[in-house]
Amino acid sequence: MTIDSNAREPLSLPILDYSLLQSNDPDAQSGFISELRSALLDSGFFYLTNHGIPLQELDSLFDVLKRFFTLPLEIKEEIAMEKSPHFRGYTRLGEEITDFKADNREELDYAPERASLRPLPATSPIYQNLHGPNQWPDEALVPGFRDGVLRFQARANDVALAIMSAIARSLELSPRFFEEAFGEKSHNRLKLVRYPAAGETGVQGHGLGVGPHKDGGYLTMLFQDAVGGLQIQTRMGSWLSATPIRGTAVINIGQQLERLTKRVYVSTTHRVLTHSHSERFSVPFFLCPHLDAVIPEIDVPAWILDRAREHHEWTSDVPTRELLQREVYGENAWRGITRSHVGVLCKHYPEEAKRRGYVH
């Protein structure tokens, strides 16, 4: 990574080599962990190479998702998120909200395939409604879609868990520190996204593919095509492009890790620009704990805290009051998804929507 020595601003994002973490050489592993710590303290974002997800599988994932998005709107809407009280499925252009404005993207949302718990007993927290089945496109229309997505989800989960374990080590915690929060019941999410070119739709709302935000989970691992547009907000508030590097994943910290480390590892604000003449596709995978997980707050070792303090405070376009920092993860997950998909909230949870002041 290059850092501007006056402002300690990163000018580009670091590239970490996953094969070092996976090797049996303890020096290679500790080299990876110390680079990881620096990346998380300096920018909160990095590229990961040699992650082991075959390029050919990534290419075919992008092929099937492109095929889905070229289907007519009424076919895509057969699996509209509005039909799912569990917030799964297709969201058409302009329906998703970030920073209180409509994003310029369409997407599919997935989470673990589970039985619905509805109707919930009165004593259950409302976030238990997030458990449920996914909605899949007709296999005949997009052959290989479901298998490709499930295979990718499993692979991304493995890599993300190994990175979480390395993050624990970077904080001098046990490599197994996070294990309990994940596993069978973890509530990971996956989005398959298409950003139209500016010329296709005319730019509305905040004029961005997705507005400035911090991700809600522990860790995000993103794959993107060659178009570009993802930008990261630096400490001083300017925007740095995460230019696509073929075959790499872009990884960043989510808000639960920010809470856990009492803001030593800060969840970096990011946004996506709308390209003037090219559509763009991306696949972010969000590693999230199980909904009942309690996110602790830990004291990081003093020398790491000192390193963090060398920096200025982070500037962010995301107001502090909007952060998802409750102790129980499910409450954060519920608040995050319901404010992005207000239409779904109003349709399935009118009382809750009214209570929160959304009129529909």
Ligand X SMILES: O=C(O)CCC(=O)C(=O)O
Residue type, 328: V
From the list Fe ion, ligand X, none, pick the one residue 191 interacts with, judged by a Cβ distance below 5 to 8 Å according to partner type.
Answer: ligand X
Asked whether position 244 contacts ligand X by CB under 6 A, the answer is no
Closer residue to ligand X (CB): 14 or 284: 284
The residue range among 42-50, 168-176, 212-220, 324-332 that interacts with Fe ion, by the rule CB under 5 A, is: 212-220
**Binder among 187, 189, 270, 341 for ligand X (CB under 6 A):** 270
What's the min distance (Å) between Cβ of 34 and Fe ion?
Answer: 26
327-to-162, 163, 259, 295 alpha-carbon distances in Å: 24, 22, 9, 5
Asked whether position 42 contacts Fe ion by CB under 5 A, the answer is no
Asked whether position 224 contacts ligand X by CB under 6 A, the answer is yes
Q: Are 267 and 233 in contact (CB under 8 A)?
A: no
Please count the residues of this chain forming the interface with ligand X, following the rule CB under 6 A: 11
3 state SS for 110-138: ECCCCCCCCCCCCCCCHHHHHCCCCCCCC
Query: How many Cβ atoms from other residues are within 10 Å of residue 20's Cβ?
Result: 20
Neighbouring-strand partners of residue 109: 89, 191
**Binder among 82, 96, 215, 258 for Fe ion (CB under 5 A):** 215
From the list Fe ion, ligand X, none, pick the one residue 272 interacts with, judged by a Cβ distance below 5 to 8 Å according to partner type.
Answer: ligand X
Give every CB contact of residue 135 below 8 A, 6+ residues apart in sequence: 79, 81, 83, 84, 88, 89, 90
What's the min distance (Å) between Cβ of 191 and Fe ion?
Answer: 9
The residue range among 133-141, 153-161, 186-194, 215-223 that interacts with Fe ion, by the rule CB under 5 A, is: 215-223
Asked whether position 107 contacts Fe ion by CB under 5 A, the answer is no
Give every CB contact of residue 85 below 8 A, 6+ residues apart in sequence: 116, 118, 129, 132, 344, 348, 349
What's the min distance (Å) between Cβ of 39 and ligand X?
Answer: 18
The residue range among 42-50, 131-139, 177-185, 222-230 that interacts with ligand X, by the rule CB under 6 A, is: 222-230
**Binder among 16, 166, 221, 222 for ligand X (CB under 6 A):** 222
**How does 246-262 read in b/e, with b if 16+ C-beta sit within 10 Å?**
ebbbbbbbbbbbbbbbe
How far, rounded to the nearest angstrom, does the alpha carbon of residue 195 sit from its chain's CA centroid? 16
Closer residue to ligand X (CB): 155 or 191: 191
What's the min distance (Å) between Cβ of 306 and ligand X?
Answer: 31
- In total, the chain counts a number of residues equal to 360
What's the min distance (Å) between Cβ of 105 and ligand X?
Answer: 8
What's the min distance (Å) between Cβ of 119 and ligand X?
Answer: 31
**What are 280's two structure tokens?**
């763009």
Please count the residues of this chain forming the interface with Fe ion, following the rule CB under 5 A: 1
Query: How many Cβ atoms from other residues are within 10 Å of residue 62's Cβ?
Result: 18
H runs (alpha helix) in 1-124: 18-22, 26-42, 55-69, 73-76
Closer residue to Fe ion (CB): 210 or 300: 210
> Which residues of this protein are in contact with ligand X, per CB under 6 A?
191, 193, 210, 215, 222, 224, 230, 270, 272, 282, 284
**Contact positions vs Fe ion (CB under 5 A):** 215
